[in-house]
Structure formats: C-alpha cells, structure tokens
Structure 1
C-alpha cells in the first residue's frame, strides 16, 4: 500500500512536471515556501482522511464516509454528490498523468530531432497510448500488480537520488537569498501575492490523492489498521521527497529565460540538458521520469476503476448494473477499467484545441478531489459537534480530532478558490482555465440523473450497515 500510494501520486516527479506553472506565477520563493505550507496543510487533511479510513475501510472512500457521517436528513444526497466528485477527481487525474507522459515523450522528440514540428494531436495520441498500456497491468497482469508496485517504489527512490545528485554536481548553484526570497509575477496579475496564490497549483497538485489507498481497501488485509498507516506514511515520505526535489530545482535552475523558452515544452527537460550538456544524459534522466509517471498511470487506473466500480455497486452511476460487474477469473472490475480508459482518451483530446490543456485537466482533478475532501471532513466536524458518537476505529486522532478537522477546512478553503484561476492574463478562450465550467457541467449531469432515476435507486451504503460505537 505504501508503494501503491507513492507511485499513484508521483510526488517528486510531479514537481518536475508542473515546474512551468510555478515559474510563471510565484517563482522559486513560492516553490520553496509553498511546498512547506502545502505539506503541513495536507498532513492535517490526510490525518482526517486516515481516521475515517480506519472507521470504514471500503473502496467507496469519501462517498461512503459522507453516507455514514452526514446529518441523517442529507446523508443520501450528500453521499451521492461526494461519489461523483471522487469519481471525477480520479478519472481526471488518470487523464492528466497519461497526458503528462505523452507530452513529455513528445518533448524528448523535440529535443533530439531538430526539425520536428510540434503538433498538439501528437501528444494526444501518445497520451491515449499510455492509458492503453496501463490497461495491461490492470487486466491480464492484474495479479502481478503488487509486485510491480514494489519495483516501482524502489525506482521511485533510486531515480530520485539519481536526478538530484546529477543536478547538484553538474548544475549551476543559486544564491540562497536570491532563490528563497524571489517571487515573480509573469502571469500579468495585479500583484505578486495574487500571482503566488495562482501558482500554488504546482506544489499542491503533487500532494493530492493519497486517499487512493482507501479505494483498494477491499483487496488488502487488516484494512482498518493498514490503510491509515499507509496513508500517513506515504504523505510523510512523498512530501519529503517533493520538498527536496523542489529545493534542488530552485538552486540548480540557472537562467530562467533559457529554461522557459526551451523547445521541449517542459522546463525540467531543459534544466537536465543545461546541467549535463548531454543528449544521452538528458534522455536517461527524463526516461526515469517517464517510467515513474507510467507506473503512476497504472496505479491511478487501478484506483479510479475501483472507485467507479464501488459507486456503481451502490447504484450511484448510470449503467450501474454493467459497471458493477467483476470479471470471472480475473477478479477485476473490467467494465470500470474500460470506462476509465475511454474517459482518459476523451479528456486528452482537450489538448488538440487548447494550449493550456494540462492546466485545465490538472485543476479539474484537484478541484473535484479537494471538494470531496472538504465535504467529507465537514461531515465529520458536524458529527463530532452535534451527532452521535463516532464509529469505532483502530487509528484515532483522539482529543485533537476536532482541531485537526477544522484546521483542514481552513487550509482547503483558499486552495479551492484559487485553483480554478487561469495561469495568465489577459484571459482568452484558449488560455482560460475551464475546470470550474467542466465541474459545473458534471454537477448538472449528476443532478439530472439523480432526479430522473438516481434518487429512486441510490440509497447510500449506510442503510446496509450495522455499527458499534465508542
């Protein structure tokens, strides 16, 4: 589970991939201080999630916990929308990682082939190919998935050291005062502070999604104890790796203009090349990132499909009778896997018409997931203040639970607001961050389905449960 969560989120790999966002808004100072703030805030969030995972270790995750903890009058409705939020978040994050791998490969082609002409649809096709490749380890090789996760975890750590050692030894060295206290506003915003809030998407994006372990709960032993331990261990390990990678990048960045104007589309590839002055070394270091993100895609497909399967099992999705099927012999939710692939392919097509597709896709995934956290934690706060005693759990926050839960909500509130903002001004149709519009569109679809059919079929998992309370 530690390997699964670590590879599913790809923390330090994400820092490299999203570096361009923070160089436009916030700069090196934001990457350093923002990483610290986001790590501390997300630790509170995941401590809250871990306690709920110990109460109810099920593949449903957030929508199941809302069903149990929300006020009785609103349990059904809030749980239903929590299920849609969680499902949307995981489907979009799966698409964003496949998109990252595809376009990083495209960036390597641009670096090595001088006359290559960049076409957005090339990246889209590569992203779809990566998603299809991930299907292999979630179908015919599903029984080998734990072994793959263990191997990827080893590479997750060894690849990390290979990259940071190379950059510290061969890259330029920045001055601490300049690196740590320089905040930039290249997005054209009215103030550097506002620009920095927009740029927080980069450090927070690599720390979202550690609820992934919860969606595998029904496939592990002693889940009530294993899940919270895996969640908190993965947060601690990966927040540390992400911070060290952030420090390495800001101190070995070199000339920012050179990094941002590279032909690859990804500043980290140009950083590798500027430091090593070698195509071979750059290809090898970038290949490590590609392999790790591909492993992330495999893990995210597993988590995303299990969440869809679980929600369909509780009759919360259209076509639930088909989506809730488990393929005999393989013991996997094959229909949910196929739907996850289809959604990833459709979302990758956004890249064909938008130059900032990654920003929109990443923002939508982060927005939906953070909303699901906010809703879930709000329910446990209400339960602590006004409801009956909390269900029994092996892993408990004890007397600090309420303070940690409220601290989580205070941290999430500004993040949810700013994560929907576009990267630059003036805003045009091609540079607009369409994540909020897409989220509203999904809510409209979910609402229509709920009032037409869902409210007659979806009851929420709490109606099927009996409980012991502390």
Structure 2
C-alpha cells in the first residue's frame, strides 16, 4: 500500500468518533504510521488482558520466595533473609526497590506512549551517537529478556521437580530430569504462543484472576495456621553473614534480589503493537502493575517473614525451594502444602507464557531494524498468522539450549542467567539518562493527537505521548530513576560474600561484559553496514 493511501486509511477521526472500535484501530495505525512503521500484527489485547499479561510476568509475590534461596536464585544475587539484610533488611530493601522501580516505570510509561525501548535510545540520543546507542541498548534488552526467559523456564521446571521431592521423599531428583521438565514447560508456552488469535489474551485474563485469588489462597492459610515470630524479629533483625565491612554495604548487595523481583515492567511495551489503543493503555497497565504487584508482594513478604519460624530449615530444604518448606511447616499437611505449591507452579507456568511473548516480540522488533544476525528470518511475520513465528521459535530454542548446561553444572547455568538483571537495568539506565538530557533541555514538546507527521524517530520532532509527568516532578522522578538504576547495576555485579570461592563468585559482570563486547565486534564488522536505527518503513 502506498504511503498516501496509508495516511488516508489511518487518519485520526474526531474525539467523538474515537469511542468506536473502528476509530481506535485507525488511531493505533496512525500512531504507528507517524513512527514510519506499517501495522503487521493483529491487536488482540485489550486493557484487561494486557494488564493480566503484565501482572503475571512481574508475579512479584512469587519471585520474592525465589530470591530467598541460593539453590534457586539463578541471578547469583545474595539471599536477603539468610545473608545480607535479615528480615528487617528485606523489608526496607523491598520498600526502596519498590519506590525506585515505580520511578523507572514512570519513565517507561512516558516513553511507552512514544515508542519502544531501543527506539527510545535512537530518538533521544544526539544524532551522531543515536545509531550506536540504540544498537547497544537493543542488545542489552535482548540479553536481559532472553536470559530472563531462560531463568523463568529453569525456575518453573526445577520447581515442579522440587514439588515432586516434597511429595515423595524417596524420589532422587537428577539434573537431567530437571532439564526435561524445563523443556516441557517451554513446549507448553510455545504452543500457547503459536495458537494465535484470541487464545493468548484469554489465557492472560484468566491468569490475572488466578494470580489474585492465588495470593489469598496462600496468604490466609499461612497467616492462620503457622506459628508467628515477634514483630521485633521481623522488623528489626539485621544480619551480615557475607562478611562485608558494614551492614549498609551488605544491605545494598542483597537489595538487588528485590530489584530483579520488581523488574519486567517493560513487558507490555514489547506487546504494544498488539494492544488496542496502546499509547494510552500500555502506560496505565505499567503503573497499575507496579502498584498492585507491589502491594501483593509486600503483603506476601510480611506474611512469609512472620510465619517462617525456622529460616535455616527452610533454606536447607531438599526441594531447593524455601517456600515449599514454609508451606509444609505451616500446614503440617502434605496434601495441603502440595495444593499451595500448585498455585505457585500454575503462576510460574502462566508467567512463562507471557515472558515468551514479550521476549520474542522484543527480538522480532530489533530484527526488523536489522540489529541481530539472521534478521531476515527473525523479522518475518507470516501474513496468515500475524505473529512473529520465527522469533518465537528462536527464543524457545535459546532457552532450550541453555537448559542443557544444567545437566553438567547448575552453577554455570546460574552464572549465565545472572545477566538478566544486569542487561535489563542497563537498558533502563540508558534511556533514563537520555530522556533526562532531553527533558532538562526542553526538547520534547506537547502531545497533539491530530498530528500525522513523522515524529519520535531519529532526526524528527520529539513529542510527549498521552502519558506525561510534567514540570519539576518529571525531572525529580527522572533523576531518582537514574540514581536507582546506577545502584542496581553496580551492586548486581557483586558476589554475595567477601573473598568468594569460584562457585560463590558472581560472574554476571563477565557475562554481560563479554556479551556486550561480542555485540560491539559484530556491530563494527557487520551491523554498522545494515543497521541504521529504527527503520522507517514509510516515507514522510
């Protein structure tokens, strides 16, 4: 279709007509057209389904349980309860991480109504740097999301194996069995993603209900049936088992576990081309997700801290997952604890479906702009499916191959998967700095829904989307987001103890550094000849 025909087809109607489904679709297409992109994906997600999608990926109340145990902490972050902060440190780390993440999500929401993550770097950076900065930001985002998917799939498969250990004490769990369970989990997520149509949005809507009801289904039995610790033990107990010079330093090292548990707010951004009225819905979903999951996570964390009377036994659980030991200790019933574990496992499996969708869309978007090897394959969208099928399959294959490492060494796999937090927060940091630079210079203008000109691409006019934090408040939030990002990235590279052994060492700095170096080499050898930043599929 010619450009002038697309402009005519996607012209924005009056505000009175915007209430109809037809005019919303036209406005969505007009938004893409202003970015120079053709609409090729079908918009199946509404407000409720994309909200369920975002909430279940965060799955905050469950991630906190994972972050309390070394055997299942695939990011090589220190354990908050047992090592770095104690119960009190965990609470205050969560509050700090929640506040910092909320600031980041405000920035992401502002930019989400403008465009996508590495596109943000391209449109905000000075012209002479926009090509390289958008490229490396895109690679950090790819690394973060691909390793996060591998992390969640490993967590899901081994948690199922842990539940089997809980149910049968004679079961001898072996690494290769865990890998097979990881593959089975990925297979189910792949089928759900390839189903297309309304299947995925409906799954996410149902998952949202399970997520909310499951929270109460676990918290109420825990709070009612378990023995309780005193409020002094919960709120005032601090620990520094890592051997750091100060309690504050130990606390910052442990805080990164909460930071990862709260990450992933940009998931809805990667699905924006499949969301109706995306420039308004996605920012609302991002902010609602951090608010609701933050409340659920904080409530669950307080419950677990009050109910976990024997922390050492929980951490040494043969299942490898402390929350399973906590459930059994609270209920003193194997069927009851297994029923509670099943709620967690269902949420993990549903989160895996959404994580695969977000990671594959991010890869597809970057491939569309020729940023990765083999981009001609991964950027294809079969017209009969309206899904990035090849990117979905490649994303599953990457996690499938990484799961093989677990057979030889779960420690080696942990070191690779530890790149998830570093890659994600480095991409957040880059766009936060660039937006702050543009904001204080007054180079982003007010949003006008009636404009049809190309905007928010390199060299074009920058305009705010419908979501915008104005004035001095926007500057302060942006500045705090930068400070918080720097803290998280810096301490995400630290080991959990002073003078660590080879197995205790946090190798994420090597992983993210080596991957970034390979990406830079590929850029100068090949990518700089084809990658020009976000490709304009439509001319002005």
Q: 2:80 corresponds to which residue? A: 22
CA distance in 2: counterparts of 1:222 and 1:172, whole angstroms? 49
Q: 1:36 corresponds to which residue? A: 95
Aligned residues between the structures: 463
Structure 2, unmatched stretches of 5+, are: 1-49, 70-78, 445-461
| TM-score, normalised via structure 1 length | 0.94
Q: 2:511 corresponds to which residue? A: 438
Distance 1:18 1:64, change over 3 A: same
Does residue 460 of structure 1 match 2:533? yes
Alignment of 1:337-356 (within 5 A): 337-356=392-411
Q: 1:4 corresponds to which residue? A: 53
CA distance in 1: counterparts of 2:395 and 2:351, whole angstroms? 15
CA drift of 1:272 comes to 0.3
Q: Deviations over 1:271-301 (max 9, x none)?
A: 0000011111111111110110110000010
Match of 1:411 among 484, 494, 501: 484
| TM-score, normalised via structure 2 length | 0.82
Moved more, 259-268 or 299-308: 259-268
CA distance in 1: counterparts of 2:496 and 2:197, whole angstroms? 39
Q: 2:114 corresponds to which residue? A: 55
CA distance in 2: counterparts of 1:185 and 1:172, whole angstroms? 25
Contact 1:53–1:214, Cα closer than 8 Å, also in 2: yes
Q: 2:464 corresponds to which residue? A: 392
Q: Which has the higher helix share?
A: 1
CA distance in 2: counterparts of 1:276 and 1:65, whole angstroms? 49
CA drift of 1:323 comes to 0.4
Structure 1, unmatched stretches of 5+, are: none
Contact 1:201–1:363, Cα closer than 8 Å, also in 2: no
Distance 1:428 1:26, change over 3 A: same
Q: Deviations over 1:372-399 (max 9, x none)?
A: 0000011111112346334132111110
CA drift of 1:110 comes to 1.7
CA distance in 1: counterparts of 2:220 and 2:391, whole angstroms? 41
CA distance in 2: counterparts of 1:137 and 1:322, whole angstroms? 21
Distance 1:172 1:466, change over 3 A: farther
Match of 2:204 among 142, 149, 156: 149
CA distance in 1: counterparts of 2:223 and 2:479, whole angstroms? 40
CA distance in 2: counterparts of 1:427 and 1:338, whole angstroms? 38
CA RMSD across the alignment: 1.8
Match of 2:184 among 123, 129, 133: 129
Moved more, 416-425 or 291-300: 416-425
Does residue 291 of structure 1 match 2:346? yes
Q: 1:111 corresponds to which residue? A: 166
Larger radius of gyration: 2
Contact 2:403–2:413, Cα closer than 8 Å, also in 1: no
CA distance in 2: counterparts of 1:294 and 1:188, whole angstroms? 37
Distance 1:113 1:69, change over 3 A: same
